[in-house]
Amino acid sequence: MANTPKLSSHKLSFLFFVIVIELVLGLVQPTRAQDNARTYAGTLTDGATFVIHAPADWNRTLLLYSHGFVIPGTPNPADDFSSSLAGSYLLQHGYALAGSSYAKTGWAVEDALRDQIDVLNRFDVLIGKPSRTIAWGESLGGLVTAGLIQKHPERFSAALPMCGVLAGGVGVWNKGLDESFAFTTLVAPSAGLQMVHISDPTCATSPLTPGNCKNLSLAQSLIAQAQATPEGSARIALTSALAELPEGFNIDRFAVLQQEHFLFNFALRADLEARAGGNPSWNVGVDYATQLKRTGHYAEISAIYSKAGLSLENDLNTLNEAPRIAPDPPAVAYLSRNIVFNGEIEVPVLTLHTIGDELIEVEEERAYSDVAQRSQESNKLRQTFVNRAFHCNFTDAEIIAALDALIDRLDNGHWPDLNPEFLNSAAAALGPALNFATPAFTEFPGPFLRPFYGGPDPQTK
């Protein structure tokens, strides 16, 4: 069923007045876009920018796109589609597109949840109320997408979170702490690495600027030194297993940890802590031997340890006996608001994730489906997977095939065939221009190690 915004007539009148003034002053700029679409670009109340594309033959469906994590200190433009090819295809097929930049970079979930609703209000006045509004987004934008339909279900008809942080903010940062804890405790216990309460303030504002983040530079140097020895390499393998890094895709786990995961764990955490007012993560009560067994890689890591002349049991005991890290409760509350998923899914949701995602591991999908089952809302949720390496590495055709399946669910009131073979055929039928690779929909993986479902006390399950 279509959902429409619940704005009073005087609020709509005021918003219309504001937009008319902005048009006069040039703050909202209508232009003629490609594909015979009208484009509006402007600035929201909090300084975020937005962009809207509406085709002349609009089919009354709006796709609200939420973009991914933007590293502080890098450009932050408004965006309303995942790729130019997909955007062009959707405009040609009558869909309107909209999205914002979010007011800030970094872990901008609080800003995004506010700004994306503001974009919907602008769209209603500039273009008209859609019959359907579908939230979609990638990476952090996948988390924002799921957050929007949880907080504002009356504004949306359906959602397509792609490669999303679907374990929620608390779960994903807790697992990041496990990585930092395992590496620091086993490889560099006396090096002065800061796992939480990162004191270098430039980490929160521009971690990629050379020399700006001593904590990150130190961590990256230490892992490079460790990789050069059999003992260090074995401990890096244990860290990567606890991170649930994917296997079988020729992914360089050392490089992924050093360049991607360490960037978040030892630098960008500073941005999160600045927003949250403290440390929102903990590992109190975590048994790392049990966690390793849950990954299914205990035997593999044990063999690597034996080859290096180390005892895996001793290292796991070292981890389990090391002093633990407790959270700051107000920071947990902040990150829970921005956001933890409660499983209350009121509109159809279809997720899309690559099996070989090295940044947002596919196991996060299990955390989202588990909480939906706990809330008895799992019938509204379906999840699809692509057998390919790397983060958000979908073809345009795979994205469109997933979106078409979601729209089919809206049209007919029941889920269509989501068998990988059927989805691959649907994607292939879109033609070579939208397929940079053979469509590769496939089946599902294992459990997420650090689920968090909310509550007053930090718990690991």
Residue 452 lies in a domain: no
> Could you give the CA distance from residue 48 to residue 111 in angstroms, rounded to a whole number?
9
Tell me, what's the pLDDT at 7? 36
- Determine the angle formed by the axes of helices 312-321 and 230-242, rounding to 10 degrees: 60
> Could you give the CA distance from residue 76 to residue 65 in angstroms, rounded to a whole number?
14
Residue 456 lies in a domain: no
DSSP state of 372: H
175, 161: one domain: no
What are the structure tokens assigned to 388, written together?
């390919």
- The position carrying tokens 């095939």 is 401
User: What's the N-to-C CA distance of the chain in angstroms?
Assistant: 35
Tens of pLDDT along 383-409? Answer: 999 999 999 999 999 999 999 999 999
Q: 456: burial class by Cβ within 10 Å (0-12, 13-18, 19+)?
A: exposed
65, 176: one domain: no
For the chain, the domain total comes to 2
Backbone phi, psi, residue 428, to 5°: -60, -35
Tell me, what's the pLDDT at 105? 97
Q: Calculate the alpha carbon distances from 172 to 237, 308, 352, 363, 364 in Å.
A: 20, 30, 18, 11, 8
Q: Calculate the alpha carbon distances from 401 to 89, 98, 159, 309 in Å.
A: 12, 20, 14, 50
112, 206: one domain: no
**Cβ atoms of 333 and 110 closer than 8 Å:** no
Tell me, what's the pLDDT at 35? 53
Residue 47 lies in a domain: yes
**Cβ atoms of 113 and 141 closer than 8 Å:** no
Tell me, what's the pLDDT at 84? 85
Tell me, what's the pLDDT at 247? 85
Which of 285, 318, 336 is the C-terminal boundary of a domain?
336
Tell me, what's the pLDDT at 343? 93
263, 162: one domain: no
- Determine the angle formed by the axes of helices 298-308 and 312-321, rounding to 10 degrees: 110
Which of 285, 316, 336 is the C-terminal boundary of a domain?
336
Tens of pLDDT along 248-290? Answer: 899 999 999 999 999 999 999 999 999 999 999 999 999 999 9
- Looking at 312-395, list the stretches that DSSP marks H as alpha helix, in order from N- to C-terminal side: 312-321, 329-337, 364-374
> Could you give the CA distance from residue 461 to residue 450 in angstroms, rounded to a whole number?
7
283: helix, strand or coil: coil
CATH code at position 346: 3.40.50.1820
18, 146: one domain: yes
Q: 378: burial class by Cβ within 10 Å (0-12, 13-18, 19+)?
A: middle
Domain membership of residue 424 as a residue range: 9-166+341-442
150, 256: one domain: no
Which of 304, 336, 368 is the C-terminal boundary of a domain?
336
221: helix, strand or coil: helix
DSSP state of 298: H
Residue 324 lies in a domain: yes
Residue 4 lies in a domain: no
306, 425: one domain: no
175, 189: one domain: yes
Residue 458 lies in a domain: no
Residue 344, phi-psi category: left (phi > 0), alpha (psi -120 to 50), beta (remainder): beta
CB neighbour burial string for 220-229, b if at least 16 within 10 angstroms, e if fewer: bebbeebbee
Per-residue HEC secondary structure of 224-267 comes to HHHHCCHHHHHHHHHHHHHCCCCCCCCCCHHHHHHHHHHHHHHH
Tell me, what's the pLDDT at 449? 75
Residue 28 lies in a domain: yes
Tell me, what's the pLDDT at 457? 46
- 107 alpha-carbon distance from chain centroid: 10
292, 192: one domain: yes
What are the structure tokens assigned to 449, written together?
């190690």
Residue 79's H or E segment, with its range, is: none
241, 369: one domain: no
355, 306: one domain: no
DSSP state of 324: P
325, 411: one domain: no
Tell me, what's the pLDDT at 21? 32
- Chunked into runs of 10 residues, the chain (461 residues) has average pLDDT values of 35 35 36 66 97 97 98 95 89 97 98 98 97 98 98 98 98 98 98 96 90 94 98 98 92 96 97 97 98 95 98 98 98 97 96 97 94 85 96 97 98 96 97 96 77 59 38
pTM exceeds 0.85 = yes
Residue 447 lies in a domain: no
DSSP state of 69: -
